[in-house]
């Protein structure tokens, strides 16, 4: 009976863990097999990304406290149309969003960089600008075993870099200038204190 109710309700949201949670600072393990649990986690991560108090364009498994190399993305425009000048990666992946990917890796990065404002569901209230390569070649697999290696730019390229950082225990705060880190320091500490209190309760 409980199972039927769960199916009727659909995948349940998960708690997004915040700065101070140990999962955010660990190196995550590769996903070896796409099990039923992995598929369920992907569905729940997508719901968490899209239906939370804050809507994200990406979410990495460590952000729900699970140190596995899986991310979900939703960087497409609302009407599903791809932007002018979109890279091959945007054209391939955006029509399939929201999408879950396993074991994403940066194969190579462009020399040109871009500076944009970033935010993170695990660092609510923290913002600042991050300079990253403008384009990256990404290798990843879908849950159905499709592998691709493709050039990604724009918001998608940035999002991949931000989410892959999470899989390596890196937060965008680490990449802010010293001045911007200082500006966000108090809020970072406040989030950390709240998270630790939650973990200990
Ligand atoms: Zn993030």
Task: Compute, in angstroms, the gap from residue 49 CA to the centroid of ligand 1.
Answer: 11
State which residues form the domain around 172. Answer: 2-200
Strands in the chain per DSSP E = 58-60, 70-73, 99-109, 113-118, 128-133, 136-142, 147-152
How many other β-carbons are positioned within 10 Å of the β-carbon of residue 114?
16
Q: How many of the other CB atoms lie within 10 Å of CB of 89?
A: 23
Quick check: 105 and 141 in contact, CB under 8 A? no
Distance 57 CA to ligand 1 centre (A): 9
Q: How many domains does the chain have?
A: 1
Q: When comparing pLDDT for 82 and 112, which is higher?
A: 112
Q: Convert the pLDDT of each residue in 164-178 to its tens digit.
A: 999 999 999 999 999
> How many angstroms separate the alpha carbon of residue 126 from the centre of ligand 1?
11
Give the distance (Å) from ligand 1 centre to CA of residue 1: 37
Q: CB under 8 Å to 31, separation ≥6 — which residues?
A: 38, 68, 69, 70, 102, 103
Mean pLDDT confidence for 38-46: 96
112 noted as active-site residue = no
- Predicted local distance difference test score (pLDDT) of residue 11: 87
- Exactly one of 118, 134, 163, 195 is catalytic; which is it? 163
Environment of ion ligand 1 (residues, CB < 5 A): 120
CA of 51 to the centre of ligand 1 (A): 16
Residues 90, 110 contacting (CB under 8 angstroms) = no
CATH number (domain holding residue 164) = 3.90.45.10
CB 171 within 8 A of CB 165: yes
- pLDDT score of 6 more than 80: no
> For residue 154, what are its two tokens?
């724009």
Q: Is the pLDDT of residue 17 over 80?
A: yes
């Amino acid at each position: 009976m409980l199972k039927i109710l769960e199916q009727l309700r659909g995948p349940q949201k998960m708690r997004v863990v915040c700065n101070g949670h140990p999962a955010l600072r660990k190196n995550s393990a590769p996903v070896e097999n796409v099990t039923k649990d992995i598929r369920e986690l992907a569905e729940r991560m997508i719901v968490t990304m899209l239906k939370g108090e804050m809507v994200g364009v990406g979410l990495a498994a460590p952000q729900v406290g699970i140190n596995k190399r899986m991310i979900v993305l939703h960087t497409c425009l609302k009407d599903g149309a791809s932007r002018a000048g979109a890279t091959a990666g945007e054209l391939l992946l955006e029509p399939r969003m929201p999408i879950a990917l396993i074991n994403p890796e940066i194969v190579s990065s462009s020399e040109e960089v871009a500076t944009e404002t970033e935010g993170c569901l695990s660092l609510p209230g923290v913002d600042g600008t991050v300079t990253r390569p403008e384009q990256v070649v990404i290798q990843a697999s879908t849950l159905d075993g499709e592998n691709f290696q493709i050039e990604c730019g724009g918001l998608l390229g940035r999002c991949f870099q931000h989410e892959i950082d999470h899989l390596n225990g890196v937060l965008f705060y680490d990449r802010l200038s010293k001045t911007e880190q200082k500006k966000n320091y108090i809020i970072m500490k406040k989030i950390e204190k709240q998270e630790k209190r939650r973990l200990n309760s």
